[in-house]
Amino acid sequence: MSGATTAECRTPLILREPQDEREGAQGVLLHSNAQMFQCSIALARRRPRYHMRSITTAKEPPMDREEAWHILCEFTQTEPLRKHARAVEAAMRAYARRYGGDEEQWACVGLLHDFDFEMHPNPEEHPAKGAAILRGRGVPEDIVYAVLCHADYLGLDRKTPMDRAIYAVDELASFIIAVALVRPSKSIHEVDVAAVRKKMKDKGFARAVNRDDILKGAEQLGVALDEHIAFVIEALKPAAADLGIAGTA
């Protein structure tokens, strides 16, 4: 098949801008199929005025903390789970500042990671079914994916620092609070790395907390365990009053 020349295409061919994305990104050519095909090649070679445009997906709007908090409270009625969410939020905020992440988005991951646990308290459903709810609410996909990443049994690739941080702080935040609550003063200000490491060896203490997740979380985050523990202890101190670990004095 012989190709059409640029001159042949110039006059009879009608070329207009697409009216919307359904009409495509190259403009709309109105002519016979055969000549339209030939002419489109010729026009492409000379880079016509109506050249191909790239179609980009609009960036999802960020989520704010208030929206995440409302979702958490809608699905989580018990105060201990809400406190756990706030503890993980505090740790995520601190790591966001350390790694240059979006603090609000990291905080939302912390608040939402267990939002569906009362509804779906088993690994077969949590957090996979919760993720479907979040997507239905229009929660950005990077937040949904990070929420999924806190569940090691899903076997997901933790691709970003936010994905790795939520896994690293989830169990540890709970464990540190447990250590603080058995202090006579019930204060996190009396908790140090040595106290946490000692309690980690006691299998009867806070037995629901998975020690392997704490170890693996620090490793995936690329932080020494003692440094990680100390960092999360400091991250929880500003939120101590809300978490019930500010002390009884």
- Look at residue 12 and tell me whether its pLDDT is greater than 90: no
**Pure H helices in the chain:** 6-10, 33-45, 65-75, 79-99, 103-112, 128-136, 141-149, 161-181, 193-201, 211-221, 225-236, 240-243
Residue in 162, 130, 158 with CA at minimum distance from that of residue 62: 162
Q: How far is CA 101 from CA 55, 113, 162, 188, 212, in A?
A: 27, 17, 8, 26, 26
C-alpha 150/C-alpha 172 separation (Å) is 12
184 contact partners, CB below 8 Å, separation of at least 6:
none
- Look at residue 7 and tell me whether its pLDDT is greater than 50: no
Residue in 161, 167, 197, 187 with CA at minimum distance from that of residue 243: 187
244 contact partners, CB below 8 Å, separation of at least 6:
83, 181, 186
Q: pLDDT digits over 213-224, tens only?
A: 999 999 999 999
> What's the confidence (pLDDT) of residue 249?
60
> What's the confidence (pLDDT) of residue 248?
82
Q: What is the mean pLDDT of residues 184-190?
A: 96
> What's the confidence (pLDDT) of residue 41?
40
User: 3-state class of 157 per DSSP?
Assistant: coil
Using CB atoms within 10 A of its CB, is residue 212 exposed (0-12), middle (13-18) or buried (19+)? exposed
Q: How would residue 39 be classed by pLDDT, with cut points 50, 70 and 90? A: very low
Specify the CATH architecture of the domain 65-243: Orthogonal Bundle (1.10)
- Look at residue 25 and tell me whether its pLDDT is greater than 50: no
Q: How far is CA 172 from CA 193, 208, 230, 240, in A?
A: 12, 12, 11, 15
User: 3-state class of 80 per DSSP?
Assistant: helix
C-alpha 106/C-alpha 210 separation (Å) is 22
C-alpha 132/C-alpha 189 separation (Å) is 39
Domain limits of the chain? Answer: 6-45, 65-243
Residue in 141, 73, 131 with CA at minimum distance from that of residue 105: 141
Which residue carries 């609410």 as its tokens?
137
> What's the confidence (pLDDT) of residue 61?
77
DSSP one-letter code for 61:
P
C-alpha 202/C-alpha 218 separation (Å) is 19
Distance of CA 23 to the CA centre of its chain: 34
Q: pLDDT digits over 71-117, tens only?
A: 999 999 999 999 999 999 999 999 999 999 999 999 999 999 999 99
> What's the confidence (pLDDT) of residue 62?
87
Output the six-digit token pair for 154. 């899903």
C-alpha 129/C-alpha 210 separation (Å) is 22
Output the six-digit token pair for 150. 């806190």
Q: What is the mean pLDDT of residues 12-20?
A: 38
- Look at residue 21 and tell me whether its pLDDT is greater than 80: no
C-alpha 159/C-alpha 90 separation (Å) is 22
> What's the confidence (pLDDT) of residue 59?
62
Q: Across the chain, what does the average pLDDT equal?
A: 83
Which residue carries 């095909």 as its tokens?
37
- Look at residue 188 and tell me whether its pLDDT is greater than 50: yes
